[in-house]
Structures are given as structure tokens and as C-alpha cells.
Amino acid sequence: MNDTSPTFLWGASTAPHQIEGNNVNSDWWAREQQTPGMALSGDAIDSYHRYGEDMRLLADAGLNAYRFGIEWSRIEPIPGHFSKAELAHYRRMIDTALGLGLTPVVTLQHFSTPKWFADEGSWMVESAIDRFARYVTEATSILDGVEWVCTLNEPNMLAMMGTMMKAAEAGGGDWQSPTIEGDVQMVLPPPDPETGHRLARVHDRAREILKERTGAKVGWTVANQALTAKPEHQARLVEERYVREDLYLEAARQDDFIGVQSYSTQEVDGNGPVPHAPHPDNTLAGTAYRPDSLGMAVRHTWEVTGGVPVLVTENGIATGDDTRRIAYTDEALRHLGAAMDDGVDVRGYLHWSALDNYEWGHWEPTFGLIAVDRETFERRPKPSLAWLGGLARSGKGPTS
């Protein structure tokens, strides 16, 4: 029997740029205008104004946690100028969650940054460390009563975007969505290791500030690809794992928790990652249907971090078929339960995503427990929301 205490977090996750709308001071907003063919985020799903309704739907379904982000580019639209009104907005979100009985899990940076920060060189320059530290220091003013804080979302993906930005600057390669494999079979380039090491220092500094000024548990969230290889490619597997994942997991060894984000598996051969072959079971994001990836990701994370408590901060499936979403999640949770049976300390499960949203340049891959009419912004909960809420209400953790 796994964790049956009421403190097991059952919830859903979102990111500000994907749901808020009109995030006009961010680097992503600019990139959307500049990249031919890229879908615009526009109003997104207007969660900036409708967050209360969104949270109420989650709480009414029975969930007890909500992971959301605060948007740096709104809080610091101009270097060194902090908006008190935007800080108050995010404080209201925290209060709303607490008032509804949802434990807030707050992400300080989820892919998007202020445009000015990107213009300065983003995470690829040393000044990033001080810039982020200054923002985090301001952000601590609204974090009273928040128990879980994620500093950076998927630093390994941020470093991978660094590789793409460097290539684009050098005139090679188009911008590629970080989360969609696309029509052409392609694999994401490796994260830039120099940027990765700098991000680890960004995180260390942020953790120090948060530990000094708040009572929150601090961690970051890592994209886990559940890499696999045939016996003859083990050496390459170890290399790829280090560059794509383990560097970031090792950097979490001093943390209070590690956020695990898992969707599918990725095979590696002698040349690196192998593109997913087209298959009728592939998800709308182009990845293979592999609910077992969550168990693999959690076990690998536990091993590399040396036993840092795990919070599943993202897991889900891009599908238009909600029955398939339930089947995928049900199986993923069984694998999670099995890892817990084997001793992995898992504190919660936060499904990606609460709502169908703007998927970094695309609208088609829908991950939500709640559908949204993009003309009227009407929210329509899917059966998967009630199903997941039911598990939460049972008062038990995942079971194998």
C-alpha cells in the first residue's frame, strides 16, 4: 500500500504563457511574430482573467493541488522595474488556490522570459545569474504560505533552446517547437552543456534566496525522456543521458524535491536519439504511446539524485480522445505506484495539463482535462477531470 496520507498531492499543471494570453513583453510573443508559420498565442485561453474559474473546476472535481507559473515578463517588463500590480495579481492567484483548498505549486520561470532578457543573451550569458536572482528576490515578496516552488521549468529544454538559438544566429536551422516532434521526423538537438552548467548556477542562487526568504520547499523540474538502448549502444546511452538529463538531475541533489516530467520514451542508437517512426498509436505530439515512461523516469531520477523526494510535476498525453487520456494516465499511475512500492518517495502527481492550451507554436496537440472554446473561452471539463478527481477523493496515493 502506498502513501495514503491526505498530503499526497493530486493536481494539474499549467504554464503562464500557454494559458494567460497577451503576454506581450515576453520573448515568446516576439518569436511568434518572427517565425513564419508559427501559430500565435494571442489571447491564449484568457486564464489571466479566468484563473478563478479554472481553479474552481479543479477543486470541485476533487483535486487538491494546482501547479501554475508566475510570468517574469509581466512582473519585470523593463529591467529593474517591478510591477506591483502584477505581483498583486499573482498573489491573488495564490490566495485563490489556498482558499479553494488547492496547494499551490508555483513555477518561477516556464520557458518564457522578458524580451529584454532574451535580447541580452538569455541563459547563454553570465549576466543571466544576477538578472534571475534579482527577479526571484522580488518574487519572494508574494510567496508567503507557498509550500512548493519550482525555480526553472525544464532547464534541459532551456539549454536545448540555447542550442537552437545559437544555430539560428549562425544562420543554420529553423526554430523548432521544444515539445512537438512535428511532421518531419526529427529529434531535438542536444542541450548546450555550457548553458546547462550555467543554469545549474542560476538554480543554486535562486534556491539560496528562496531558502533565506521563504519557507518553501525548493526544486526544479526536469524533462525526462526515459532513454533506452539496445545492449550494444549502452555507451552512447550513458553519454546522451548525461548531456540531456543527468547533468540536471545531479544539480538537484541539494534540493527539497525534484520535479519529474515524463510523457514518452526515447530510443538511442550509435548515432544518438532515433526519431519515432510514424505509428497509428503515436500521440498528437508525435511521440510514442508509452505510459510506462513515468515509472522509468521516476526510478532513474531517484537513482541519479541519490534519493531526492519526487513530485511528478508533468505527465500526460496529447490526444483528442479523452478515453485514451484516461487509459494512458491510469497505466502511468500504476507504473508510478510500482516505483513507490519499490521505495521511491513520491509526494504527488500533477497532470499535464489542466486545460487545452497553447502548445508552444501549435494549438492542435490537446493535453487538457478541460476543453476550452477559443471564441467564447467557455470551459468544458472532460470526463478525465472527474476521473482524476475521483482518485484524489479516494484519499489514497497511486497503487500498482
Decide if 356 contacts 45 (C-beta within 8 A).
yes
For position 15 contacting ligand FCB by CB under 6 A, the verdict is yes
Which listed residue (360, 369, 382, 398) binds ligand FCB by CB under 6 A?
Answer: 360
For position 359 contacting ligand FCB by CB under 6 A, the verdict is yes
Q: Which stretch binds ligand FCB (CB under 6 A): 139-147, 153-161, 182-190, 191-199?
A: 153-161
Which listed residue (10, 367, 379, 391) binds ligand FCB by CB under 6 A?
Answer: 367
Which is it for strands 148-153 and 217-224: parallel, antiparallel or unpaired?
parallel
Q: How many distinct helices (H) and strands (E) make up the chain?
A: 14, 13
For residues 139 and 149, what is the distance between their CA atoms, to the nearest angstrom?
11
Considering the complex, state which of residue 2 and residue 357 has its C-beta at the smaller distance from ligand FCB. Answer: 357
Decide if 240 contacts 227 (C-beta within 8 A).
yes
Which listed residue (28, 257, 352, 358) binds ligand FCB by CB under 6 A?
Answer: 352
String of contacts with ligand FCB for each residue 257-276, x by CB under 6 A: ----x---------------
Considering the complex, state which of residue 90 and residue 111 has its C-beta at the smaller distance from ligand FCB. Answer: 111
Which has the closest alpha carbon to 94: 49, 62, 52?
52
CA 204 to each of CA 26, 100, 251, 350: distance values in angstroms, whole numbers, following the listed order: 24, 32, 8, 24
Which has the closest alpha carbon to 18: 28, 5, 9?
28
Strand partners of residue 350: 11
For position 9 contacting ligand FCB by CB under 6 A, the verdict is no
Q: How far is the CB of 352 from ligand FCB (least distance, A)?
A: 5
Considering the complex, state which of residue 223 and residue 251 has its C-beta at the smaller distance from ligand FCB. Answer: 223
Percent helix / strand / coil, the chain, rounded to 5: 45, 15, 40
Considering the complex, state which of residue 48 and residue 367 has its C-beta at the smaller distance from ligand FCB. Answer: 367
Which listed residue (64, 103, 140, 153) binds ligand FCB by CB under 6 A?
Answer: 153
Q: Which stretch binds ligand FCB (CB under 6 A): 205-213, 269-277, 334-342, 359-367?
A: 359-367
For residues 239 and 241, what is the distance between their CA atoms, to the nearest angstrom?
5
Considering the complex, state which of residue 21 and residue 397 has its C-beta at the smaller distance from ligand FCB. Answer: 21
369's grid cell: 482535462
261's grid cell: 516530467
Helix (H) or strand (E) holding 148: strand 148-153
CA 305 to each of CA 55, 219, 260: distance values in angstroms, whole numbers, following the listed order: 32, 12, 12
Q: How far is the CB of 396 from ligand FCB (least distance, A)?
A: 27
Number of residues that bind ligand FCB (CB under 6 A): 13
For position 128 contacting ligand FCB by CB under 6 A, the verdict is no
For position 71 contacting ligand FCB by CB under 6 A, the verdict is no
| Count of other CB atoms within 10 angstroms of residue 242 | 16
The dihedral formed by the CA atoms of 360, 363, 364 and 367, expressed in degrees to the nearest 10:
70
Considering the complex, state which of residue 103 and residue 261 has its C-beta at the smaller distance from ligand FCB. Answer: 261
Contact residues toward ligand FCB (CB under 6 A) are 15, 18, 153-154, 157, 179, 223, 261, 314, 352, 359-360, 367
